[in-house]
């Protein structure tokens, strides 16, 4: 009888915690959602109306590219007029990407200058250089 009591007591002490695994997984998923959140930044597609305003920058991009997102964020936050072509969804964008022999995205075209990839300091310098030559 004592042996059964000891076994019952041991079983109650080492009761598996089934919900703790669920909470750990839920916490990890929640953390991933919170830390990967990026606010949506409206894309300015190049069309005749936008191009008639002579935007400072023309960007060749894709919707999934994180560097394109950063370039879009920088241009928007600094009130730099721009428009973009999605090289995967726009025939004109794909054609322009091939014409400039694009090797990486985004491709940023400022006046007669071009930059592949996104680097904030390089873009600042490119905008200064383009402004001086105008």
User: pLDDT value at position 59?
Assistant: 96
CATH code of the domain containing 124:
3.40.30.10
What SS3 string covers 110-124? Answer: ECCEEEECCCHHHHH
Residue 94 CA from chain centroid, whole number: 20
Q: How many CB atoms lie within 10 A of CB 37?
A: 7
pLDDT computed for residue 31 by the predictor: 77
**Residue 25: per-residue pLDDT:** 81
> For residue 116, what are the β-bridge partners?
107
Half-sphere exposure (CA, 13 Å, Cβ side) for 7? 4
Alpha helices in the chain (DSSP H): 2-13, 18-36, 48-51, 66-77, 91-99, 120-133
User: Both 63 and 21 in a single domain?
Assistant: no
Q: Which residue range(s) make up the domain with 89? A: 48-133
Domain-embedded: residue 18: yes
Average pLDDT over residues 26-35: 77
Residues 25 and 55 placed together within one structural domain of the fold: no
Q: Quick one: 17 and 76 in the same domain? A: no
Q: What is the per-residue pLDDT across 85-122, written as a single tens digit (0 to 9) for each? A: 999 999 999 999 999 998 899 999 999 999 999 999 99
Model pTM score:
0.71
Q: How far apart are CA 94 and CA 124, in angstroms?
A: 26
- Confidence band of 12 (pLDDT split at 50, 70, 90): low
Crossing angle of helices 66-77 and 120-133, in 10° steps, is 50
């Amino acid at each position: 009888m004592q042996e059964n009591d000891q076994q019952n007591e041991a079983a109650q002490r080492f009761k598996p915690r089934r919900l703790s695994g669920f909470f750990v997984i839920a916490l990890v998923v929640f953390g991933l959602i919170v830390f990967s959140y990026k606010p949506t930044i409206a894309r300015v597609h190049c069309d005749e109306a936008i191009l008639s305003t002579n935007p400072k920058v023309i960007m060749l991009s894709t919707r999934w590219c994180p560097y394109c997102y950063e370039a879009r964020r920088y241009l928007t936050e600094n009130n730099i007029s721009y428009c973009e072509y999605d090289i995967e969804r726009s025939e004109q964008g794909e054609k322009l990407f091939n014409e400039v022999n694009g090797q990486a995205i985004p491709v940023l075209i400022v006046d007669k200058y071009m930059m592949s990839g996104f680097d904030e300091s390089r873009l600042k310098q490119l905008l200064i250089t383009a402004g001086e030559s105008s």
